[in-house]
């Protein structure tokens, strides 16, 4: 239900941001939807792309490329991963959605030293997959952007 459960779950919804493969626990994901009509919020932090109407629920869309301080915009219309949080839903805008992968919690490792910058603060750990490294997103950190808001 909350991001705290990340460590214990087995199934991860994966997504791409540039070269990064990231994952969040499927339990945290409410749904995945295509790009929606968005209402921009003037004066909001840059990470906030806008507000989306999801069946009557107002969802705050957050640009994960900006959150990860990646260069460049989305290569194609981004996907929305809708996360239900206690104080309302947020949508993570990402490049592309990957598979749902099952992972043995045993293989969870701390973020490697080589991770740098924003990425390091937004990842709770990594899983070594066969061909790649899956970074586990720290949902609380990734969605905590209010402190940079305009006063």
Partner 1 sequence: MSSGSDHESGEMPEEVVEFLVESNENLDRLDQDLMALESNPHDKERLSSIFRTIHTIKGTCGFLGYSKLESVTHVGENLLSKLRDGTFVLNATLTDALLAMVDATRAMLHSIESTQSDGDGDYTALVSLLSELTVNGGEGSAAEADGAANVDGESEPTSVLSQNGDERSVSSNALVFSTKKPDAPPVSASGPTELAAGVATVVDSSESGEVAEPTSVTVGTSSQQEGSSSGSSKTTAPENHEGTPVSADVRSVVSDSSIRVDVALLDRLMDLVGELVLARNQILQFTAAESSSALISTTQRLNLITSELQESVMKTRMQPIGNVLTKLPRVVRDLARSCSKLVRLDLEGKETELDRTIIESIKDPLTHLIRNGVDHAIETPELRKAAGKPLEGVIAISAYHEGGYVNIEIRDDGSGIDPEKIRAKAVEKGIHTPETAQKLSDRDVINLIFSAGFSTAEKITNVSGRGVGMDVVKTNIERIGGTIEVSSQVGIGTVFRIRIPLTLAIVPALVVTCVDQRYAIPQASLLELLRLEREQIDADVSVLDGAPVYRLRGHLLPLVDLAEVLGISDGERPWTKESLNIVVLQAEETQFGLVVDGVVDTQEIVVKPLGRQVKAVTTFSGATIMGDGKVALIVDVAGVAHLGRVLRTARDTESKATVTRQVEDLGEKQTLLLVQVGDSGRVAVPLQSIDRLEEFRADAVEWAGGQPVVQYRNTIMPLLWLSTAVGLTSASDPGETYQVVVHSANSRSVGVVVDAILDITEQRVTLDQYAARLGVLGSAVISDRVTEVVDLSVIIGDFLSDLVGIGV
Nearest residue (CB) to partner 1, 20 versus 59: 59
Question: How many residues bind partner 1, per CB under 8 A?
Answer: 34
The residue among 114, 146, 142 whose CA lies nearest residue 23 is 142
The stretch near partner 1 (CB under 8 A) out of 58-66, 98-106, 114-122, 130-138 is 58-66
Among 21, 48, 123, 126, binds partner 1 (CB under 8 A): 48
The stretch near partner 1 (CB under 8 A) out of 24-32, 49-57, 71-79, 112-120 is 49-57
Among 19, 37, 116, 130, binds partner 1 (CB under 8 A): 37
Contact flag: residue 57 with partner 1 (CB under 8 A):
yes
- How far apart, in whole angstroms, are the C-alpha atoms of residue 81 and residue 94? 8
| Neighbour-count burial of 48, counting CB atoms closer than 10 A to its CB (0-12 exposed, 13-18 middle, 19+ buried) | buried
- How far apart, in whole angstroms, are the C-alpha atoms of residue 5 and residue 88? 18
CB of 84 to partner 1, least distance (A): 12
The residue among 122, 139, 118, 146 whose CA lies nearest residue 43 is 146
Contact 45, 36 (CB under 8 A): no
Nearest residue (CB) to partner 1, 17 versus 67: 67
Other Cβ atoms less than 10 A from the Cβ of 150: the count is 8
Name the site residues for partner 1 (rule: CB under 8 A): 1, 37-45, 47-48, 50-53, 55-60, 62, 86-90, 143, 145-146, 149-151
């Amino acid at each position: 239900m909350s991001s705290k459960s990340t460590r214990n779950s087995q199934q991860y919804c994966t997504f791409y941001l540039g070269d990064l493969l990231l994952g969040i626990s499927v339990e945290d994901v409410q749904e995945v939807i295509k790009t929606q009509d968005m209402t921009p919020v003037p004066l909001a932090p840059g990470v906030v792309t806008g507000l989306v109407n999801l069946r009557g629920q107002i969802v705050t869309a957050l640009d994960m490329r900006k959150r990860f301080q990646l260069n460049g915009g989305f290569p194609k219309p981004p996907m929305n991963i809708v996360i239900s949080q206690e104080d309302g839903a947020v949508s993570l805008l990402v490049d592309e959605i990957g598979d749902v992968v099952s992972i043995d919690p045993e293989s969870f490792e701390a973020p490697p030293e080589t991770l740098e910058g924003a990425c390091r603060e937004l990842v709770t750990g990594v899983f070594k997959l066969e061909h790649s490294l899956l970074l586990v997103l720290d949902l609380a950190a990734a969605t905590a952007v209010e402190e940079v808001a305009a006063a």
